[in-house]
């Protein structure tokens, strides 16, 4: 969302009209002591946030219960010197569904160490997901968030513009697909097919009005949860107007 504090009023308005039970947000850009919980609690949501600095930051808000909050996933890789886990993952059980709010590292550049960090992060997430399903094949798990990967060519406005860039490389796409192959399905794409269907538009260069977007935000659902999906959509309208995030909300109806 690129700052929860800068977008407090838009978030409130969106929650009021969207009528969602659970919301997973990424890039709150604040520490826990700076987090404006009242944006969510004021509308009847419980909320759990994990933020360590002005970077990253993830949260889950729910009005159907919020239990067993977990900061980070097992074996989540760290960043920096010395390597430390960043505020990129938070899990909670809401109405019987295990929700994960995930902010996959950007990768920055294919030559950057951050790119290797991104690939390792995705691989460790895959391993964690596989272990959860091995433990309980009937588990209802939703892996929600900014994956910073455009899995298909149609998920960017022009592949030629992404020559040699992150988000579309084979290793990134393979790492994303490995999570899918573990049993987590993209439950939105069937209801919001491409081409030209995106979840993110850069602030720079009037990319939104020019329809130069990327589909990089996904809800991946375990088999038991995917079976419940009745509808899904990308709320492109929320990208419009003053003070919009550069990402649009992705909404799934689990019946």
Annotated binding site: 27, 146, 148, 246-247
Interface with DNA in residues 169-208 (CB under 7 A): 202-205
Phi-psi region of 131 (alpha: psi -120 to 50; beta: other; left: phi over 0): alpha
- Closer residue to DNA (CB): 113 or 131: 113
Closest CA to 175 of 114, 120, 106: 120
**Given the rule CB under 7 A, which of 102-110, 179-187, 190-198, 230-238 is the region that contacts DNA?**
102-110
The residue range among 48-56, 91-99, 150-158, 179-187 that interacts with DNA, by the rule CB under 7 A, is 48-56
Q: Hunting for tokens 């909670």 — which residue is that?
A: 92
Is 103 an active-site residue? yes
Does the annotation count 247 as an active-site position?
yes
* Tokens of residue 89, six digits: 């993952």
Under the binding rule (CB under 7 A), the answer on residue 110 touching DNA is no
C-alpha–C-alpha distance, residues 193 and 191, integer Å: 6
Cα gap 199→146, rounded to integer Å? 9
Task: Say which DSSP state 171 is in.
Answer: H
- How far from 77 is each of 72, 84, 106, 124, 156, CA to CA, in Å? 10, 8, 14, 7, 28
> What's the burial of 74, exposed, middle or buried (CB within 10 Å: 0-12/13-18/19+)?
exposed
Q: Does 5 bind DNA (CB under 7 A)?
A: yes
Say whether 167 is catalytic: no
Question: Could you say which of 164, 209, 243, 255 contacts DNA (CB under 7 A)?
Answer: 243
> Can residue 105 be called a binding residue for DNA (CB under 7 A)?
yes
**49, 50, 167, 247: the active-site residue:** 247
Contact call for residue 241 and DNA (CB under 7 A) = no
> How big is the site for DNA, counted in residues (CB under 7 A)?
20
Q: Which residues does the annotation mark as catalytic?
A: 103, 146, 247
Residue ranges in contact with DNA by CB under 7 A: 2-3, 5-6, 27, 29-30, 34, 54-56, 105-106, 108, 114, 202-205, 243
């Amino acid at each position: 969302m690129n700052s929860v504090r800068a977008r407090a009023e838009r978030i409130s308005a969106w929650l009021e009209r969207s009528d969602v039970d659970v919301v997973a947000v990424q890039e709150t850009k604040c520490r826990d002591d700076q987090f404006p919980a009242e944006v969510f609690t004021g509308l009847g949501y419980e909320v759990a946030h994990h933020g360590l600095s002005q970077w990253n930051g993830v949260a889950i808000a729910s009005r159907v219960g919020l239990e067993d909050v977990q900061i980070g996933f097992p074996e989540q890789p760290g960043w920096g010197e010395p390597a430390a886990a960043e505020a990129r993952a938070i899990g909670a059980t809401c109405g019987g569904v295990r929700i994960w709010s995930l902010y996959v590292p950007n990768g920055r550049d294919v030559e950057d160490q951050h790119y290797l960090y991104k690939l390792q992060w995705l691989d460790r997430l895959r391993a964690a997901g596989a272990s959860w399903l091995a433990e309980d094949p009937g588990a209802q798990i939703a892996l929600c968030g900014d994956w910073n990967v455009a899995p298909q060519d149609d998920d960017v406005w022009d592949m030629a513009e992404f020559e040699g860039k992150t988000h579309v490389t084979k290793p990134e796409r393979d790492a994303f697909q490995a999570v899918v192959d573990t049993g987590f399905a993209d439950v939105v794409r069937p209801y919001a097919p491409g081409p030209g269907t995106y979840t993110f538009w850069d602030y720079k260069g009037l990319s939104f009005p020019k329809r130069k977007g990327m589909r990089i935000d996904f809800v991946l659902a375990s088999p038991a949860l995917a079976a419940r999906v009745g509808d899904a959509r990308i709320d492109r309208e929320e990208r419009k107007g003053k003070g919009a995030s550069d990402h649009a909300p992705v909404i799934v109806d689990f019946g």
